[in-house]
Structure 1
Amino acid sequence: MNGFIDIVTGQVEGYNSFVAISAFVTSHARALLWRLIEKTPPGHLFYCDTDSLIVDAEGLKYLEYHIRESELGALHLEKQSDTLTIYNAKDYVFANKRKIKGVRTTAKKIDDHTFGQWQQRSLKRVLWNEQEDNCQWKWVEKTMQAGYKKGTVDDYGIVHPLVLDETV
């Protein structure tokens, strides 16, 4: 970007990894998810993540054909709930349980947007310090961002995605 090229040295790809496989699986999953989103009528899909859709009963009717509980890669109906509160991407309350990426269900709620939890030090750090027999934990606090940053939410709760200006 802007004529600069970043060159990263000193890092190697993990042993026994083949990036093309994971890239293909990810792109295939995203394409499938997009096709399912397009099948769901506007106003009946409330949330979408890497591997999930949250729809109402009407939206479910349009996806039922794709639900096959025992088939790998097909849709599964995991939970049903009468209520859904979305605070942000990867931060929502479904079936009276709050799900926040990176925050355990056992985390201590400090305030509405801050959670604290014990986090185990990485195995790499433990081995680097040559303390294999010493399990290390640290207290971390995570503050969630207020406000939705991927679009604007109108008075009816409809999200209008941000669109980049093509003249840039």
Structure 2
Amino acid sequence: FGQKAENWVKIGDCPNEPDREELLFTHGSHKVMRLRYLLGELFELKSYSESFNSFPAIASHVTAYGRMYLWSLMQLCGHGNYFYCDTDSLVVNDTGMDNLTTVLHDIKLGFMKHEETTHKLIIHGLKDYEKDSKTVIKGIRKNAVKVSEGVYKQEQWSSFKGLLHSGDINTYTVKSITKHLTRKYTKGIVTDSGVVKPFALTEGLYDVN
């Protein structure tokens, strides 16, 4: 609903040219032109616009309402009784679970479902945590190989844009890359106890309260 589309316009033909993308910088100005050579034709990226099925009003309102509803559930749960939240979920302790009893239901729309009970939870950051049943790390594939703490090796599959940038669209290459996780948390102040304190905005600056 909220996606943008690239508007490419054909500006000529380029027979026998290899498929690729180029960035052209004009000397003495800030103008940048993005060109795409594809199947013997030359295209220029003119602008960005909403995609055909885009409707930002729906996407923004659904997202905003979901965040405010999740915040209300955190208030109901009680400060100190929740450890982590995601788009549509909470990780809470026994007290928090008891406080959420009125909004628990397996299939009722708008209610919370009890997914599982875990006895181990290590939270490194957003979408980066370990529990009894599995480890979740955003950007790390399930079949990735752990080299060391915070270092993973995995396959990287090229997108269509990636193939154009490579300059050889006829050869699909799967690369092996190594990812290093910094795990630096920037959404608040992490105390020595592990509790995260929020930023308090004061006249454009933030304080730690």
TM-score bracket for the superposition, by shorter chain length: 0.7 to 0.9
Q: Distance in 1 between matches of 2:85 and 2:198?
A: 13
Scaled by the length of structure 1, what TM-score is found? Answer: 0.81
- Between 143-152 and 112-121, report the one with greater CA deviation: 143-152
State whether residues 83 and 96 of structure 1, in contact with CA within 8 Å, keep that contact through their aligned partners in structure 2. no
Q: Which protein is richer in strand relative to its size? A: 2
What is aligned with 1:55? 92
Unpaired stretches in structure 2, ≥5 consecutive residues: 1-45
Larger of the two Rg values belongs to structure? 2
TM-score, structure 2 normalization: 0.66
Structure 1 residues without counterparts, runs of 5 or longer? 1-8
RMSD of Structure 2 on Structure 1 (CA): 2.3
Is the CA contact 1:85–1:93 (under 8 Å) kept in the aligned structure 2?
yes
Q: Identify the structure with bigger relative contact order (alpha carbons < 8 Å, sequence gap 6+).
A: 2
Q: Deviations over 1:8-35 (max 9, x none)?
A: x611222211111111111111011010
Render the CA deviation track for 1:121-153: whole Å, top value 9, x for unaligned: 12455589654xx65422233221234322223
Give, in whole Å, the separation in 1 of the partners of 2:55 and 2:70. Answer: 24
- How many residues are matched? 158
TM-fit CA distance, 1:73: 3.6
Letter of the aligned partner of 2:97 in structure 1? Answer: L
CA distance in 2, matches of 1:144, 1:51: 25
Give the drift of 1:115: 1.4
State the percentage of identical aligned residues.
Answer: 35
Map Cα deviations across residues 38-90 of structure 1 (whole Å, 9 max, x no partner): 11122210001122110011111111221221134431222210111111222
- Runs of 4 or more, structure 1, over 3 Å off, are 123-131
Q: In 1, distance between residues paired with 2:70 and 2:56?
A: 21
Instruction: Give the superposition deviation at 1:157.
Output: 2.6
Shift of the 97–127 alpha-carbon distance from structure 1 to 2, 3 Å rule, reads same
Pick the aligned partner of 1:86 from 123, 128, 132.
Answer: 123
The residue type equivalent to 1:49 in the other structure is D
